[in-house]
Amino acid sequence: DALLEPLADAMRIACERVAVCSTCANVDTQDPCAICRDPRRDPSTIVVVEDVSDLWALERSGAVTARYHVLGGVLSALDGVGPEDLNLSKLAERARDAEVREVILAVNATVEGQTTAHYVTDLLAETDVKVTRLAHGVPVGGELDYLDDGTLAAAIRSRTTF
């Protein structure tokens, strides 16, 4: 009881204070979230992620200075997740903003992630934004003989000038 009661109280407080950002669907104690309110963020780029944990993984990398958009999952016919179940209408609305010039699809390299990426690309086809995706291939420090065939094939297709 001495350990569980403080934990239960902390969870109750978190449940009361944490909210979903009305702009990007991140979680924070304020709406809009700290990332959406940050004036140092590049408003011309939106990074689309599947869920909040992906957003924070990118934040930990320190490589992103853009704004985010959390879909809340991926399209999956097997799981009964369709476009209406994802945060897609808000993304389309944000992409129509004249300030937005690029949408980066940072979804997982799964069948569902790639299906979602194609759907988003089609959804944004009538906007003036450039749609890009994260590179796929050999990870930093990776050894070729340990990589799967799909990763190697993606790396060959995505090769760049050295």
Per-residue pLDDT tens for 11-24?
A: 999 999 999 999 99
In 3-state terms, what secondary structure has residue 97? coil
SS percent in the chain: helix, strand, coil, step 5:
40, 15, 45
Identity at 16, one-letter amino acid code? E
Cβ-contact 104, 48 below 8 angstroms: yes
What confidence score (pLDDT) does residue 18 get?
Answer: 93
- Cβ burial of 115 (10 Å; 0-12, 13-18, 19+) is middle
Identity at 92, one-letter amino acid code? A
Question: Which tens digits make up the pLDDT trace of 52-68?
Answer: 999 999 999 999 999 99
In 3-state terms, what secondary structure has residue 23? coil
Q: Residue 6 above 90 pLDDT? A: yes
Looking at the domain covering 4-157, what would its CATH class be? alpha beta
pTM: 0.87
In which element (H, E) is residue 46 found? strand 42-49
Q: Where do the domains of the chain lie?
A: 4-157
Percentage above 70 pLDDT, the chain: 100
